């Protein structure tokens, strides 16, 4: 069963998404459906492949974005080796 969904997305992103979908000869709706499907299935598959202990801990810690990855790596290496 198909259900209509209304999304609010930036005009530039919509334009680029339409071009992307047209190049692949699929509708924008189908592209969004594939994307949502890949999100839900990949998260489920990752959790299923993990060992039981790791699987129980999966998702407990949020991914923290470091402002400067290179600086963070440099700091970690300095701490480790100096």
| pLDDT tens track for 43-70 | 556 556 777 777 677 666 666 666 677 7
- Determine if the pTM surpasses 0.75: no
The answer on pLDDT for 32 being more than 80 is: yes
Which ranges in 24-64 belong to alpha helices (H)? 28-49, 52-57
**CA triple 50-52-54, angle to 5 deg:** 60
Q: Looking at residue 10, what is its pLDDT? A: 92
Highest-pLDDT range among 18-27, 31-40, 69-78:
18-27
What's the mean pLDDT in 11-31? Answer: 90
Range of the domain at 50: 11-81
The torsion angle over the Cα atoms of residues 41, 44, 48 and 52, rounded to 10 degrees, is 170
Residue 4 lies in a domain: no
Q: What's the total number of domains in the chain? A: 1
60 part of a folded domain: yes
Given a contact cutoff of 8 angstroms between Cβ atoms, the answer to whether 42 and 53 are in contact is: no
For residue 41, being part of any structural domain is answered with yes
């Amino acid at each position: 069963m198909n259900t209509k969904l209304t999304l609010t997305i930036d005009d530039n992103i919509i334009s680029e998404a339409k071009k992307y979908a047209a190049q692949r000869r699929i509708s924008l709706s189908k592209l969004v459906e594939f994307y949502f499907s890949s999100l839900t299935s990949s998260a489920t598959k990752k959790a299923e492949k993990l060992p039981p202990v790791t699987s129980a801990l999966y998702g407990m810690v949020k991914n923290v974005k470091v402002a400067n990855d290179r600086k963070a790596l440099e700091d970690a290496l300095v701490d480790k080796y100096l």
